[in-house]
Structure 1
């Protein structure tokens, strides 16, 4: 370890900073009707408070990564955590629906900054399969947070009362994030390895990465993959409850089971990648997730009335999410390695662009007409198949972190 870095970042601190911010996305989803009534606003505005947070997370990642290459990691992370806590307090005190939309945008952006810069810290410090294992750990925690968030929010509103308590809880989360960052995340980018911070230089770094096939190829494949996954996120509640007629409670169980499969796959990746490396595991993941989606589409196409049994739909979706749970950390490790010469910018594009692609395609199931298993699975199949084809076509561009000589990293200079 170079002399600049006196101590490694705390894994626990990294998990807290990059994972708990995701709690902000949907902790209060069950309280949206109460938000609407309390602020005397429309249902669309209440829902927009969630959308603005998701958009903020994407923008926070895209903007902060390149800045961290110029100004370092620690200061940005600390600022983001403090802003997250402050905006949570303002959200708890808000009196207007549109003001809440604006505050949620900033709150989401702060969470996005923490995620992007946290990934860059991993790239600064860890190498090869060790870095891939860290990405697996971060991915597992990042996937757990939004899954448990609605349950946390439900318990808080049921036991304490009122949707505002959720934001007071998030304010406490922000304070915990700030303390974790202050005590556990040292600066990992020495001043002499920082890159020029002007707009022209930022643009050059962005162009350098986006025109590098070894970096752009895995980002493109992940954008297509996340687009397909967000079709499921946006349509599954309507499809399963309205066409298949399951209850809201059973849908929650289905969704939670599929999310658990994703988390379990990420944890499995964390332990397997040390032995196998990320390339092989990514191939297995792509085959797994594509098979699950193809099976779902085939079942919907062949079933009487295009209405397959719930068990078939459930299993197919679980296979898809399990594949995705292994794919995400594997692709992150490959992408970050390819772009480690500008780790913050690589983190911004590697996380922010797929997130934007997913957000744009979230309402696709509804836009295609009647929300059915056939429509949803068809949209998913389109994107997952495109991702698989692109992955095969661009496989020659992939840099294996185990075999390739890595690009110079800011943290390796001294």
Structure 2
């Protein structure tokens, strides 16, 4: 489940070098990130529902092998067009792994126990943004962006071995749904009409779009506005990711007592408060406000997601338990799709100031906060706890 963040964050610092190496524009360089996120969404839509009919294990193995092959193709890409296309398909198979991972947890856990498990998995998943930039920086010190993809090829091979040896089939034939596009359409349509499920997904999409705006724009904005080096940006990014990992560990410890909905409310509130401070900092300008202030605000945004992400995942999967793979596909796919739409917005309005990224993030998180308040007001009893 952590391969998506790892495959994006490892080469974030190499985007300027990638642009120069392939003689591409900044837009094409960022498209290698955007198309991967689109692929993550598409892979969840395609492979998650298929697993409800065919089981989880063999699809997990296939996705791991394909990820290794496509990583090698990315590393050998002769130009930007080939790299963008390869990243799209690589995202598809990575997204399949993410959807299948959530479905496996839902197959084997329920209620607050499932929420605690998602919190534990999230804490390891969030280590990706900590380890990946550091690993990417070490690779770039001795190699190029192509070497980064060679390392991802090795990661894919290790995943294939680990899944083959360590993940049994969790969906026996007796619990599977009918195969075919018509049956899939019926399952998806049923979940899309179910507001008890979709309210969690919509909230997750809004917060996720704000989060992806930070992921896609922070490298360019912080380096151009504050003039920090790639190494220092890696420290900023890793520190924020560490805050998210710590919050997710706290989530695992607190969720049985406090409930997933309450912890999600805390996480969204913290993230919204951090995002709301960014436009003020942007208007003041980098000469008036030192880097430490926007860094602290971004850390609050990212840290709050350590509560919000596992909570939203658990609440949505519980609401869609009867079709766990399809529910995983919709909640993950729609969230990444929202992120893919939001990621280029900062680039459209420019990287010369912090303001475009700050305004976009604050609007998205404010919308998530308002929806959360409406949901809580209308469903006070259900918002208190997550039950099986």
Task: Work out which of the residue numbers 240, 249, 266 in structure 2 matches 1:284.
Answer: 266
Structure 2 residue matching 1:112: 3-state secondary structure: helix
Unpaired runs of at least 5, structure 1: 1-17, 407-414
Task: Work out which of the residue numbers 102, 110, 120 in structure 1 matches 2:85.
Answer: 102
How many residues end up aligned between the 2 structures?
386
1:10 maps to which residue?
none
1:192 maps to which residue?
174
Instruction: After TM superposition, give the deviation of residue 253 of structure 1 in Å.
Output: 2.5
In the TM superposition, what are the counterparts of 1:81-96 in structure 2 within 5 Å? Answer: 81-96=64-79
Structure 2 residue matching 1:168: 3-state secondary structure: helix
Contact 1:26 1:50 (C-alpha < 8 Å) held by counterparts: no
1:209 maps to which residue?
191
Contact 1:85 1:174 (C-alpha < 8 Å) held by counterparts: yes
Q: Which whole-Å CA distance do the structure 1 matches of 2:247 and 2:147 have between them? A: 33
Change (3 A) 1:353 1:34: same
Instruction: After TM superposition, give the deviation of residue 224 of structure 1 in Å.
Output: 0.9
Task: Work out which of the residue numbers 332, 341, 345 in structure 1 matches 2:322.
Answer: 341
2:371 maps to which residue?
390
Instruction: After TM superposition, give the deviation of residue 66 of structure 1 in Å.
Output: 0.9
Larger radius of gyration: 1
Q: Which whole-Å CA distance do the structure 1 matches of 2:112 and 2:160 have between them? A: 29
Query: Which deviates more, 255-264 or 353-362?
Result: 255-264
Q: Which whole-Å CA distance do the structure 2 matches of 1:176 and 1:400 have between them? A: 40
1:50 maps to which residue?
33
Structure 2 residue matching 1:189: 3-state secondary structure: coil
Task: Work out which of the residue numbers 338, 344, 360 in structure 1 matches 2:341.
Answer: 360
2:156 maps to which residue?
174
Structure 2 residue matching 1:186: 3-state secondary structure: coil
Instruction: After TM superposition, give the deviation of residue 373 of structure 1 in Å.
Output: 3.4
Contact 2:74 2:83 (C-alpha < 8 Å) held by counterparts: yes
2:308 maps to which residue?
327
Q: Which whole-Å CA distance do the structure 2 matches of 1:31 and 1:370 have between them? A: 17
1:62 maps to which residue?
45
1:152 maps to which residue?
135
TM-score under structure 1 length normalisation: 0.84
Change (3 A) 1:39 1:365: closer
Contact 1:306 1:374 (C-alpha < 8 Å) held by counterparts: no
Q: Which whole-Å CA distance do the structure 1 matches of 2:15 and 2:295 have between them? A: 27
Q: Which whole-Å CA distance do the structure 2 matches of 1:322 and 1:188 have between them? A: 32
1:23 maps to which residue?
6
Change (3 A) 1:238 1:100: closer
Change (3 A) 1:299 1:356: same
Query: Which deviates more, 246-255 or 120-129?
Result: 246-255
Q: Which whole-Å CA distance do the structure 2 matches of 1:374 and 1:307 have between them? A: 14
Q: Which whole-Å CA distance do the structure 1 matches of 2:131 and 2:285 have between them? A: 36
Instruction: After TM superposition, give the deviation of residue 42 of structure 1 in Å.
Output: 5.5
TM-score under structure 2 length normalisation: 0.90
Change (3 A) 1:46 1:128: same
Contact 2:133 2:238 (C-alpha < 8 Å) held by counterparts: no
Instruction: After TM superposition, give the deviation of residue 293 of structure 1 in Å.
Output: 1.9
In the TM superposition, what are the counterparts of 1:24-39 in structure 2 within 5 Å? Answer: 24-32=7-15, 35=18
Unpaired runs of at least 5, structure 2: none
Structure 2 residue matching 1:25: 3-state secondary structure: helix
Contact 1:235 1:371 (C-alpha < 8 Å) held by counterparts: no
Contact 2:106 2:114 (C-alpha < 8 Å) held by counterparts: yes
Change (3 A) 1:146 1:110: farther
CA RMSD of aligned residues (A): 2.6
Instruction: After TM superposition, give the deviation of residue 305 of structure 1 in Å.
Output: 9.1
Instruction: After TM superposition, give the deviation of residue 208 of structure 1 in Å.
Output: 0.9
Instruction: After TM superposition, give the deviation of residue 34 of structure 1 in Å.
Output: 5.3
Query: Which deviates more, 219-228 or 33-42?
Result: 33-42
Structure 1 residue matching 2:332: 3-state secondary structure: helix
Change (3 A) 1:145 1:307: same
Q: Which whole-Å CA distance do the structure 1 matches of 2:346 and 2:84 have between them? A: 24
Structure 2 residue matching 1:80: 3-state secondary structure: helix
In the TM superposition, what are the counterparts of 1:312-323 in structure 2 within 5 Å? Answer: 312-323=293-304
Structure 2 residue matching 1:188: 3-state secondary structure: coil
Contact 2:107 2:324 (C-alpha < 8 Å) held by counterparts: yes
In the TM superposition, what are the counterparts of 1:98-137 in structure 2 within 5 Å? Answer: 98-137=81-120
Instruction: After TM superposition, give the deviation of residue 267 of structure 1 in Å.
Output: 1.5
Task: Work out which of the residue numbers 127, 139, 143 in structure 1 matches 2:126.
Answer: 143
